[in-house]
Amino acid sequence: MNRIDLNKAPWRDFDYPRLMENELDGEWPAGSRYFSVEELPLYPFAGDGEHAALTVEKVDMTTRDLAVRVADILGVGGAAVGYAGMKDRDAVTVQSFTITGVEEEAAADAFTEAGAKVLSATRHRNKLRLGHLAANRFEVRLRGGDLKIASDALQELTRLGLPNYFGPQRFGAKGDNAREGYRFLVGEIRRKKVGRWKRDLIIS
């Protein structure tokens, strides 16, 4: 399986279909305050159980970075921290975490120290795992543009939905996630030699 040359990757020049003939012509400025992601839970937390369960808001950090910081602060292994999905770094994101065998007050203090804002803290009976979410709600803030065209586009999006285009986020920084995933599946890479985070990426 050949490695992808990201400089020549097909998604760079692909003429993606457009929802409307008229372009909105707005500007998407750089900065996390123009992009937000809210995780919608698959189920409510039970209120009891062996796992601290928290919903937090983070800004300008990845899910993994936050999980690692919290684990270090609490002195627990990385496997004790569970989450349902990987959220963007350059964004304001809201998502839930579970931590095994820790009081929710201590977990809340750890998330605060790690730079996140704690929105709620309770307990739950199982660890959150990838995929334990109903959906993600995205908000993109544009500057300028035609509001009438934007309103028409939103109506069409509501009616038709939005295609899930993806490229480097799934193929990896070096373009070799598919090759590495294949090697993992056929046993060329041993499970114990691949960390949880990388394993989740290459098989996604």
Question: How does DSSP classify residue 11?
Answer: H
| pLDDT confidence tier of residue 201, bands split at 50, 70 and 90 | low
> Can you spell out the DSSP letters for 69-81?
HHHHHHT--GGGE
Region 150-162: what's the mean pLDDT?
85
Sorted by where each begins, the domain ranges of the chain are 32-135, 166-204
Q: Domain 32-135 belongs to what topology? A: Pseudouridine synthase (3.30.2350)
Rounded distance, CA 193 to CA 137, Å?
A: 35
Mean pLDDT over the full length of the chain? 86
The per-residue pLDDT for range 33-78, each reduced to its tens digit, is 899 999 999 999 999 999 999 999 999 999 999 999 999 999 999 9
- For residues 152 and 11, which has the higher predicted lDDT (pLDDT)? 152
| pLDDT confidence tier of residue 7, bands split at 50, 70 and 90 | low
CA angle, 110 as apex, 204 and 119 as ends, to 5°? 75
Q: What is the pTM of this model?
A: 0.77
Between the CA of residue 27 and those of 33, 52, 140, 143, 191, what are the distances in Å?
A: 14, 41, 11, 5, 44
Region 148-152: what's the mean pLDDT?
89
Of all helices (H) and strands (E), which one includes residue 124?
Answer: strand 117-124
The per-residue pLDDT for range 91-122, each reduced to its tens digit, is 999 999 999 999 999 999 999 999 999 999 99
Question: Active-site residue numbers?
Answer: 88
CA angle, 39 as apex, 145 and 65 as ends, to 5°? 100
Between the CA of residue 7 and those of 14, 50, 78, 155, what are the distances in Å?
A: 13, 48, 34, 35
- For residues 95 and 184, which has the higher predicted lDDT (pLDDT)? 95
